[in-house]
């Protein structure tokens, strides 16, 4: 199957339903489509030493989480990754990103803890961000139980999850809290204001993340228009002090992604403030491509390669 056929199949599975006045029906349909498109059965899925479901502390109650321990994780306390799934703060859960986490754990030789934070529209901004910070605090304080070395924990996420990872780094930097050792940002959402004013190619705007879907996600999560520029949800627009002293970063970008330019701008800001940052652009890939492991060995390799970067940064490889 060519990659163009893969894109057509994935985007057909992810076809956005009509949105009636009853938002509950539309959200349920979109979540089900996202789940179906993200699930896969793969013969070459890496074996793990352990996988277990946990409960962690959120900002306003317990959250579900899942711990992945790869065969090469090493003796505890060891490097680890705190992972946040994408989905525009509206979609996604532990299962939709299960394959990504398995492959990231195997590639990095790190324990991975995936967090099931609260979603919109049931929980509005800043609920997901508050949950992410609470989960970070919980993980760093319970390193002995999890087998984590608190000084060698990376934050990672794709799309909206990359937003949460970037937010944790900026917020802990701002407040003087214990900071992550590394940040892995997979085609992250770094501004949640607008993409309609951008001149998008068909490839950038014709697949999963369209301007309509961007607006739908934004308007379901952010109630007040003035909050769109809040640096918690738009870390690209944080002041200079928020960038100075941030942990090293690795950014994965997609050539056919309406968020690519913002990702490149975020890389430039990191570098301008002396932050060590590397970039890997997958020229022919679309936003969300790491959920297409069922269709492409190239996608599987991309996740593995990103894991290797983190593993080398944390000393597990």
Rounded to whole angstroms, the Cα distance separating 75 from 72 reads 9
CA distances from 268 to 94, 180, 184, 249, 273 (A): 32, 20, 16, 12, 9
Is 159 catalytic? The answer is yes
What are the start-end ranges of the H helices in the chain?
Answer: 3-13, 23-38, 98-108, 127-141, 143-146, 160-175, 202-205, 211-221, 240-243, 260-272, 297-314
Is 287 catalytic? The answer is yes
**Residue among 159, 234, 296, 316 flagged as catalytic:** 159
**Residue among 85, 97, 282, 287 flagged as catalytic:** 287
Rounded to whole angstroms, the Cα distance separating 136 from 202 reads 38
CA-nearest of 42, 116, 102, 96 to 69 is 102
**Residue among 234, 250, 257, 282 flagged as catalytic:** 257
Rounded to whole angstroms, the Cα distance separating 145 from 178 reads 18
Catalytic residues: 159, 257, 287
């Amino acid at each position: 199957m060519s990659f163009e056929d893969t894109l057509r199949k994935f985007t057909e599975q992810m076809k956005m339903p009509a949105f009636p006045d009853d938002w509950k029906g539309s959200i349920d349909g979109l979540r089900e489509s996202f789940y179906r498109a993200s699930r896969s059965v793969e013969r070459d899925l890496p074996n793990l030493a352990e996988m277990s479901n946990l409960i962690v502390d959120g900002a306003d109650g317990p959250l579900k989480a899942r711990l992945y321990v790869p065969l090469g994780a090493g003796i505890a306390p060891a490097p680890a990754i705190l992972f946040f799934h994408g989905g525009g703060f509206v979609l996604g859960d532990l299962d939709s990103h299960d394959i990504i986490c398995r492959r990231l754990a195997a590639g990095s030789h790190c324990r991975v803890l995936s967090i099931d934070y609260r979603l919109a529209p049931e929980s509005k901004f800043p609920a997901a961000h508050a949950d992410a910070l609470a989960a970070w605090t919980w993980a760093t304080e319970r390193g002995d139980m999890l087998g984590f070395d608190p000084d060698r924990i990376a934050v990672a996420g794709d799309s909206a999850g990359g937003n949460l990872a970037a937010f944790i780094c900026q917020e802990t930097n701002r407040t003087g809290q214990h900071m992550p050792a590394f940040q892995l940002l997979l085609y992250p959402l770094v501004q949640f204001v607008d993409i309609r004013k951008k001149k998008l190619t068909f490839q950038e705007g014709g697949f999963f993340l369209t301007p309509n879907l961007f607006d739908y996600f934004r308007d379901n999560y952010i109630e007040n228009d003035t909050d769109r520029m809040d640096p918690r949800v738009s870390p690209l627009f944080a002041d200079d002090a928020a960038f100075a002293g941030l942990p090293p970063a690795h950014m994965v970008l997609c050539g056919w992604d309406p968020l690519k330019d913002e990702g490149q701008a975020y890389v430039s800001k990191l570098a301008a403030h002396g932050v060590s940052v590397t970039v890997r652009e997958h020229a022919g890939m679309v936003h969300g491509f790491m959920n297409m492991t069922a269709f492409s060995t190239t996608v599987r390799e991309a996740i593995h390669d990103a894991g290797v970067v983190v593993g080398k940064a944390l000393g597990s490889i």
